[in-house]
Amino acid sequence: MKYRNNNGNDDLSILGYGCMRFPRKGNSIDMAETEKQIMYAIEQGVNYFDTAYIYPGSEEALGKVLSKNNCRDRVKIATKLPHYLVRKNEDFEKYFLEQLKRLKTDHIDYYLMHMLPDVNVWDRMIALGVLEWIKEKRENGQIKHIGFSYHGNTISFLELLNAYEWEFCQIQYNYMDEHSQAGRKGMMAAAEKRIPVIIMEPLRGGVLANNLPKKAEELIAQAPVKRSPAEWALRWLWDQKEVTVVLSGMNSMAMIEENIKTASEVKAGELTDDERKMINQVKEAINENIKVACTGCSYCMPCPFGVDIPGSFRCYNVSYTDGYFKGLKEYFMCTTMRNKQSTASLCTECGACEKHCPQSIPIRKELKKVKSRFENPVFRIANRFIKKRYK
């Protein structure tokens, strides 16, 4: 297993264990199989385990396995505060103590603000006293490192990055999201601050492993070096020295074994020019299914009325390339789960954005399509609930 240390503190396995998708038996986690897989990963050198308060049964399952096998000190546990459930100062402590109990531990190594969408939500947490609470937890050793996980555009990510002395961050990043979400620009900004970058969605929810267009599959099959689509996607990430840990939601021994083998071989900067070219061709083949030719350059931003234009188009395209519900989920997380929303429906058709678009996209027309595709009655009900949470 290879390790990276991008903050001078911990040597972290470059392969992290994403604990959201433990194997299940019926409606419950299959504890026997989960224990087998977790312990195999630990024996092979995986030392970063990522879970969250809202992953059903995940914290409890991880805690039971580590406690039963007396191996808590061999791993770093990362879990997340559900800030969207926090209404008053006492809630910080309530949820944290519940997580310690679930995980059967007295401290969290890497604690994240879960899905922190923008500075406005962070300011709401500050107003509730989160800074004092974090300071206390750091001083008594219950939290070792503090960070945040993020879905959204690059601009908001950079604002959050500079809003606090974060010690690590977690972003969605893969070869399809190189210039969207936090993107390469966000990753590089974090690396410049010596903030470890934890990667989630390296396979974009499995799409880059199992649901590639035929043309993309053919390009990979024709490559001189025979690797699975998943391995190519992971190698593209580990080729970048700024990437600290890549999380994989592993739930089969075959997947764990393949990923561990790759993580034991790779080196940053080892992809050849031809291999990078092939990956770009795969990306182009996937993009043939997109609906709006937005490159995410953000020349159209900021919108005077608050629309996240490139973010809306990215989610709209994802709904066609990766599946409707994947796109809808990302649209909800990136434009709606914040107290200052940025949905397509905020567009007033002023046209200011179109004057700056290098692709000459009819932005007003396309935003109407985004609104029509995503903002249905169910969405509007959920939106009202979110607005109440962030008042």
Whole-model pTM: value is 0.83
Q: What pLDDT is recorded for position 158? A: 96
pLDDT digits (tens, 9 = 90+) for 291-334: 887 877 777 999 999 999 999 999 999 898 888 999 999 998 88
pLDDT block averages, 10 residues each, the chain of length 391 = 88 97 93 98 98 96 98 98 95 98 98 94 96 98 97 91 97 92 95 96 87 91 95 98 96 96 97 97 89 80 93 92 89 85 94 84 96 91 73 59
* Domains present along the chain, CATH in parentheses: 3-279 (3.20.20.100), 309-389 (no CATH)
Q: Is the peptide bond before 82 cis (omega within 30 degrees of 0)?
A: no
Q: Quick check: 340 and 334 in contact, CB under 8 A? A: no
Q: What is the pLDDT of residues 346-369, one digit of tens each?
A: 999 999 999 888 678 999 999 999
Residues 136, 157: contact at Cβ < 8 Å?
Answer: no
Strands 108-113 and 143-150, by their bridges, are parallel
Q: Cα(233)–Cα(93) distance, rounded to whole angstroms?
A: 39
Contacts 24+ apart (CB under 8 A), 206-215: 207/321, 207/322, 207/323, 207/326, 208/174, 208/175, 208/176, 208/233, 209/233, 211/322, 212/282, 212/285, 212/286, 213/285, 213/286, 213/288, 213/289, 215/285, 215/288
